[in-house]
Amino acid sequence: MTRLKKLEESFVLPTYAKFPFALARGRGTYVWDEAGNRYLDLYGGHAVCLLGHCPPEVVAAISEQAKRLLFYSNLVYSRVRAQAAKALVRLCDIAGSQVFFCNSGAEANEGAMRLARLATGRARILATTGSFHGRTAAALAATGIDSYKKPAHGLARDVSHVPFGDLAAAQAALGPDVAGFILEPIQSIAGIVAPPAGYLSGLARLCRRHGTMLIFDEVQTGLGRLGAPTAAQAFDVEPDILTFAKALGSGVPCAAVLAGPRAAARIKSGDLGSTFGGGPLACAAILATLEILTQRRLWRNAARMEALARRTLVFPALREIRGKGLLLGLVLDKPSQEVRDGLLRRRILVGSSQDPRVIRLLPPLTVTAKELALLRGALSDIWEARPAKGASNP
């Protein structure tokens, strides 16, 4: 590990703080390091491994596609691209919607904002404080967390922020120059901050009244994670544009913008573009992922596991469980670093957040009651100061 650490740090820019191990393989809800130690992954590679690590159906689909055609651009028709788009449209259940494929969540969110501007002929974008939409220039401009933006210069100046959850502030900011309103339906990196009751539906009504495109950044909330196929369905709201990435290809880099009929109506050839977006390999992964998600109705397991977590993760030091489905924030009575370190010693991976008291859980939607019981036991050990025991290796 020391040699590998030195090698990577010699040639890779030091942009991420890393766990103190190198992973070699993964299967289901578990990953193994190069020493053969097994870890329970309740972080999911940052909400990417929706179906667990290396789902066999996705691995097979990628392998078969790679044998036939690795890549050709969007200048040709592609059966697998058409099938992947159809599967996403059906999952989102917004009549008349169409898909633009790209490569990352940031690119999808930039595309969504561009789409809103093209559809309305307006320039300004509204976003919310506490939001995170990516690290490219326009996506970072829409991000509402100052710590991500302070080192950046030259960001777009036609983006304004209003407080998340404040309908009155949204109403005051909306006007005839606002093309789109982008937000995460539940803010993840901010600490799993859910909207107040009625906020999202009220915002949809306001945006429609002002002719503004409502954009749901579903990069983390989408694809079954909230106990429904999308956050839009979980909250019974129909936005004009939705963005997806992270879990969309089960780990293959890809993203998508889904445009509802109002947003798609004025788009023409050349308005959006991406060399690699919608490539055959990525679309094979997308199609396989969406087929498994839909066939197994994995959002139902997300809802069941949320209910189980709320029933069983009951400790004096755990003040609150925020979120919905399997996008959960454990709010502690003090900074979470010590508890996260204790979980890591017990080989359980979880996420941090901008709120230092919050532990984020973003596990695969295949997580089981047995695996949540392992988390509960580990938390019990930590708060009762029992010695750490590493996860067993089957």
Q: Please give the span between the terminal C-alpha atoms of the chain, in angstroms, as a whole number.
A: 22
Q: Is 246 part of the annotated catalytic residue set?
A: yes
Q: Is 132 part of the annotated catalytic residue set?
A: yes
Asked if residues 29 and 367 have their Cβ atoms less than 8 Å apart, the reply is yes
Q: Which of 217, 235, 244, 324 is catalytic?
A: 217
User: Cα(135)–Cα(11) distance, rounded to whole angstroms?
Assistant: 22
| pLDDT confidence of residue 137 | 62
| pLDDT confidence of residue 393 | 53
Q: What is the DSSP letter of 193?
A: B
User: Cα(22)–Cα(349) distance, rounded to whole angstroms?
Assistant: 13
Q: What string of pLDDT tens digits covers the 394 residues of the chain?
A: 688 888 998 899 988 888 888 999 999 999 999 999 999 999 999 999 999 999 999 999 999 999 999 999 899 999 999 999 999 999 999 999 999 999 999 999 999 999 999 999 999 999 999 998 876 766 766 777 776 655 555 456 789 999 999 999 999 999 999 999 999 999 999 999 999 999 999 999 999 999 999 999 999 999 999 999 999 999 999 999 999 999 999 999 999 999 999 999 988 898 888 999 999 999 999 999 999 999 999 999 999 999 999 999 999 999 999 999 999 999 999 999 999 999 999 999 999 999 999 999 999 999 999 999 999 999 999 998 766 766 555 5
Q: Do the domains at 2-54+299-383 and 56-296 have one common CATH topology?
A: no
Q: Which of 132, 216, 235, 244 is catalytic?
A: 132
Phi, psi dihedrals of residue 191, rounded to the nearest 5°: 125, 25
Q: Which of 216, 246, 324, 355 is catalytic?
A: 246
**What 3-state class would DSSP assign to 126?**
strand
Q: What is the DSSP letter of 48?
A: T
Considering the domain 56-296 in this protein, what is its CATH number?
3.40.640.10
| Lookup: tokens for 272 | 């959006």
CA-based diameter of the chain, in Å? Answer: 63
| pLDDT confidence of residue 2 | 81
Q: Is 271 part of the annotated catalytic residue set?
A: no
| pLDDT confidence of residue 155 | 59
User: Cα(234)–Cα(255) distance, rounded to whole angstroms?
Assistant: 21
Query: Could you tell me the residue ranges of all domains in the chain?
Result: 2-54+299-383, 56-296
| pLDDT confidence of residue 145 | 77
**HEC per residue, 54-113:** CCHHHHHHHHHHHHHCCCCCCCCCCHHHHHHHHHHHHHHCCCCCEEEEECCHHHHHHHHH
| Lookup: tokens for 21 | 């191990």
Instruction: Indicate the CATH number of 2-54+299-383 among 3.40.190.10, 1.20.1050.10, 1.10.645.10, 3.90.1150.10.
Output: 3.90.1150.10
